[in-house]
Amino acid sequence: LAKTTQPISMDSYEGQEVNITCSHNNIATNDYITWYQQFPSQGPRFIIQGYKTKVTNEVASLFIPADRKSSTLSLPRVSLSDTAVYYCLVGARARNTDKLIFGTGTRLQVFP
Amino acid sequence: GAGVSQSPRYKVAKRGQDVALRCDPISGHVSLFWYQQALGQGPEFLTYFQNEAQLDKSGLPSDRFFAERPEGSVSTLKIQRTQQEDSAVYLCASSPRQGVGTDTQYFGPGTRLTVL
């Protein structure tokens, strides 16, 4: 399974755009890139998923360059409620299971 | 439209006690997963069920850990003779289909286990 590397922590202020980059140099051809968000005392929550180029939903955008060795989660105009840990996952499918492989994530702190 | 629920939310056990953690997945979801999350770390995979079949238990840390899903819905994670290193949050997740690596997994709130 592809290993991911992302910053341990990031700080931002309300109203700013936040970009969190994840490196996954050994991503496989059939791997998707998925981001989850986790608030304290809650389970992770799916944010967005993509395979290549750009994906956008009501919460975030995901940018994936042509070589797919990295990806960037973009959160537009963050608010205090976006303070959470963000996980980048690649290669969820392993053998006959669909287990998710989480790293340590990026802890985003949004200040007023 | 209830989500994944877990009980109890908090459990304190004395070292050596047995504990049982329950997970109620979203109705109709085929796949069910258990993860262990230590403080400050990301969740780590424990085991996976497809309906009632346990297809992957490679993440269970020792033979003291046992999981079951006898009727393909509710699942129980049992830990025998608990040790202090078992203290963690135990997360359950479910997804609607099988064998689809891109399916979203829906997580419950977790059970925080503290072993004294």
* B105 contacts in chain A (CB < 8 Å): 44, 46, 98, 100
- B107 and chain A: CB distance < 8 Å anywhere? yes
Give the closest of A43, A97, A101 to B107, CB-based: A43
Mark residue B19 as left, alpha or beta (left: phi above 0; alpha: psi -120 to 50; beta: remaining).
Answer: beta
Q: How deeply is A30 buried, as exposed, middle or buried, from its count of CB atoms within 10 A (0-12, 13-18, 19+)?
A: exposed
Peptide bond into A76 cis (omega under 30): no
Residue whose C-alpha is closest to residue A32's, from A56, A8, A19, A48:
A48
Helix (H, G, I), strand (E, B) or coil at B63: coil
Query: What is the model's pLDDT at position A89?
Result: 87
Please state, rounded to an integer, the average pLDDT across all residues of chain A: 90
B55 to A103: CB separation less than 8 angstroms, yes or no: no
Q: Using a pLDDT cut of 90, give the percent of chain A over it.
A: 70
Residue whose C-alpha is closest to residue B66's, from B75, A43, A38, B5:
B75
The CB density around residue A3, as the number of other CB atoms within 10 Å, is: 13
| Residues 5-64 of chain B whose Cβ lies under 8 A from any Cβ of chain A | 31, 33, 35, 40-45, 48, 55-56, 59
> How many Å apart are CA A30 and CA A46, to the nearest integer?
20
> Confidence band (pLDDT; 50, 70, 90) for A2?
low
Please state, rounded to an integer, the average pLDDT across all residues of chain B: 93
Query: What is the model's pLDDT at position B99?
Result: 64
pLDDT digits (tens, 9 = 90+) for B41-66: 999 999 999 999 999 899 999 999 99
> Confidence band (pLDDT; 50, 70, 90) for A1?
low
Query: What is the model's pLDDT at position A30?
Result: 80
> How many Å apart are CA A92 and CA A27, to the nearest integer?
11
**Average confidence (pLDDT) over B75-89:** 98
Q: Report whether B92 contacts B33 (CB < 8 A).
A: yes
* B105 DSSP assignment: P
Helix (H) or strand (E) holding B54: strand B53-56
A98 to B42: CB separation less than 8 angstroms, yes or no: no
* B42 contacts in chain A (CB < 8 Å): 85, 87, 102-105
